[in-house]
Amino acid sequence: MQPFRGAHETAAFGHGNKITQVPQFHLVDIQKVWMRTGTYIGRKTGRSKESLQPGSGPRQTLVQAGNAMSRQAWAVILAGGLILFLSIGARQGFGLFFAPISADLGLSREAFARAVAFQYLLWGLAGPITGLLAERYSPVVVLVAGGALYAMGFFGAGLVAEPAALLLAAGLLIGLGLGGAHFGVVNAAVVQVVPAARRGSALGGVAALTALGQLFLLFFTQGTIDALGWRAAMGAHALLVLLIVPLAIVLGVARREVARPAPQAEPTRGTKALSQALRTPMFWLLSIGFAFSGLQVMFTMTHLPALVNDLGMSADHAVAALAAVSASSFVGSWWFGRLCDRVPAQWLLVFIYLARAAMAGVAWCVPFTPASLVVYFSVLGLVWMCTIPVTSHLAAQLFGVKALASIYGAIFLAHQVGGFAGTWLGGVVFDRTGGYTAMWLLIVVLCSLGAILASKVRSHAILGSPQRATASKGR
């Protein structure tokens, strides 16, 4: 008896007087069917046919497991969101230190703005470097170092007695600390453990927690300044941001527990991915638009307390306006993040930039009162922080999740260059003209241009990923 027969051979099986002809297949033919099926599935899922063999890859990655997320993935999202809750939230009310520091040290408005602008610039310059370090080593190492530097900066700022020392502590140390504990490192850690279909929602959730930090820590900043004085308030902020260190460790532990299969092909990452991204038009379209966003955000946040004071309102009205923008940013970030899973992200950016241009036009032509100030910033907050999850989502689509930390860090550098310009120009314009009218008009023009640039972005993948590489190899 032959153990295997050809594909068109038959075997006769007797049952009583009835003979049944049963087609028999050669083992080679079965293997061909299996390999063709694997090729088809690989094209649909981005996996190679070899990875579908029994025993290939001990565990399923979350990205391959449909839209479900494990408890470990949720832990990464929560820990990352809380890190940004502290790092960005503590930074939100930094402008509230302007009045007491200026009164105590005799600083001009331009001198304080110069220190803050230097902080923004260093924050941005550190982004690509910390992103590369996170990709090469671990995001935990970068976040721990960032949290420590951030705490040292706040502690040092509470001891300053002259403008140069303020530039060193509030500019250099806090800027470098923010560069380590910033969106690029955290968002890259998050998108690597969530399904692609839930990426926008995850990024929106992280941004929403960041907005909550801006809201609650704003009151913390004002309360500690009022109760303890600005020097002791700086020390309280140092202790607060030091909590980034244990949260980074929690994030690292949760990431290690997320199942990840061995990659079928090495993804483009590191300096190679960053250099490739820098040569693409899509990178520059995103970066230039993000720079215009940074100019508006940093100008408004830094100069709002002084603007409110110039209008004859108290510091409490500035706190109310900042609280309004942070509260509505929670809604806007979460909402636009979820929309990224349903709507092309570049068109969300177009809408956001046009809405911002319109709001800057309102600020130019409508005088502020205590009530209108809160209403204005409540509406503005809906399109305030949402550029971060939308831009991160687009960057992940274009350049892949493995290189997101460094590439988003480079895009964020453009944001901070714009923020440096907005912070510094705001002080110069006020000192030259006695008001901010020219800045509002500039923001209208630049945000409109940002919407045009965003409309030119196409959300197809540019840099290769393991899934794309193996899918192409299997065809």
427/31: higher pLDDT: 427
d(CA 457, CA 399): 13
Q: Which amino acid is at 115?
A: A
Would you say residue 429 has pLDDT above 70?
yes
Q: What whole-number percentage of the chain has pLDDT above 70?
A: 79
- Across residues 229-245, what is the average pLDDT? 95
Domain parsing of the chain, residue ranges: 68-260+268-461
- Across residues 263-283, what is the average pLDDT? 75
- pLDDT value, residue 419: 84
- Across residues 222-241, what is the average pLDDT? 94
Ramachandran area for residue 16 (φ above 0: left; ψ -120 to 50: alpha; else beta): left
d(CA 142, CA 424): 29
Would you say residue 263 has pLDDT above 90?
no
- pLDDT value, residue 460: 67
- pLDDT value, residue 38: 47
- Across residues 443-448, what is the average pLDDT? 96
SS3 367: coil
- pLDDT value, residue 187: 92
Would you say residue 382 has pLDDT above 90?
yes
- pLDDT value, residue 261: 43
- pLDDT value, residue 431: 83
Structure tokens at 402: 């493995």
- As a whole number, the mean pLDDT across the chain is 80
Q: At what angle do helices 244-257 and 183-191 cross, to 10 degrees?
A: 20
> Mean pLDDT lowest for which of 43-57, 98-112, 244-258?
43-57
d(CA 154, CA 169): 7
Would you say residue 19 has pLDDT above 50?
no
Residue 191 near residue 61 (C-beta atoms within 8 A): no
Residue 415 near residue 299 (C-beta atoms within 8 A): no
Other CB atoms within 10 Å distance of the CB of residue 435: 12
33/175: higher pLDDT: 175
Structure tokens at 16: 């009583």
Would you say residue 12 has pLDDT above 70?
no
- pLDDT value, residue 423: 79
Would you say residue 209 has pLDDT above 80?
yes
- Provide DSSP, 254-309: HHHHS--PPPSSPPP-HHHHHHHHHTSHHHHHHHHHHHHHHHHHHHHHHHHHHHHH
- pLDDT value, residue 463: 61
Confidence of residue 461 (pLDDT cuts 50, 70, 90): low
- pLDDT value, residue 214: 87
SS3 60: coil
472 Cβ contact list (under 8 Å, min separation 6): none
Name the CATH superfamily housing domain 68-260+268-461: MFS general substrate transporter like domains (1.20.1250.20)
- Across residues 149-158, what is the average pLDDT? 94
- pLDDT value, residue 471: 34
- pLDDT value, residue 303: 83
SS3 17: coil
- pLDDT tens across 463-473, in order? 654 444 333 33
Which of 72, 343, 324, 45 has the alpha carbon at shortest distance from 201? 343
Confidence of residue 33 (pLDDT cuts 50, 70, 90): very low
* Chain-centre distance for alpha carbon 452: 22
- pLDDT tens across 174-188, in order? 999 999 998 999 999
> Mean pLDDT lowest for which of 47-56, 84-93, 154-163, 439-448?
47-56
